[in-house]
Amino acid sequence: MGEEPAITYVLVDGENIDATLGTSILGRRPRPEERPRWERLLQFAQELWGQPAAGLFFLSANNELPMPFIQALVAIGYRPVPLSGGSNEKVVDIAIQRTLDEIRRRHADVLLVSNDGDFVDQVRDLLDGRRVGVVGFQEFRSNAFLPLAAHGLSTFDLEYEVQAFNEPLPRVRIIPIDDFDPAEFL
Domain residue spans in the chain? 8-185
Q: Pseudo-torsion of CA 106, 62, 94, 57, nearest 10°?
A: 40
Among candidate residues 137, 161, 179, the one with its CA nearest the CA of residue 47: 161
Residue 2 above 60 pLDDT? no
What is the mean pLDDT of the segment spanning 18-27?
94
Higher pLDDT, 107 or 1: 107
pLDDT of residue 64: 83
pLDDT of residue 4: 55
Mean pLDDT of the chain: 93
What is the mean pLDDT of the segment spanning 66-86?
94
| Domain 8-185, CATH number (from 3.40.50.20, 3.40.50.1010, 3.30.565.10, 3.40.50.300) | 3.40.50.1010
What is d(CA 94, CA 83) in angstroms, rounded to the nearest whole number? 10
DSSP code for 4: P
Among candidate residues 142, 139, 144, 102, the one with its CA nearest the CA of residue 121: 144
What is the mean pLDDT of the segment spanning 77-96?
94
Residue 61 above 60 pLDDT? yes
In one letter, which amino acid is 39?
Answer: E
Phi and psi for 69 in degrees, rounded to 5? -70, -45
Cα atoms in the Cβ-side hemisphere of radius 13 Å centred on 71: 3
Higher pLDDT, 85 or 133: 133
Q: Pseudo-torsion of CA 49, 162, 28, 75, nearest 10°?
A: -60
pLDDT of residue 13: 97
What is the mean pLDDT of the segment spanning 35-61?
96
What is the mean pLDDT of the segment spanning 146-163?
96
Q: How confident is the model at residue 5 (pLDDT cuts 50, 70, 90)?
A: low
The pTM score is 0.91
Share of the chain above pLDDT 70, in %: 97
What is the mean pLDDT of the segment spanning 16-22?
94
Q: How many CB atoms lie within 10 A of CB 32?
A: 5
CA distances from 4 to 8, 42, 49, 136 (A): 11, 19, 11, 26
pLDDT of residue 1: 47
For residues 52 and 181, the answer to whether their CB atoms sit within 8 Å is: no
What is d(CA 15, CA 33) in angstroms, rounded to the nearest whole number? 17
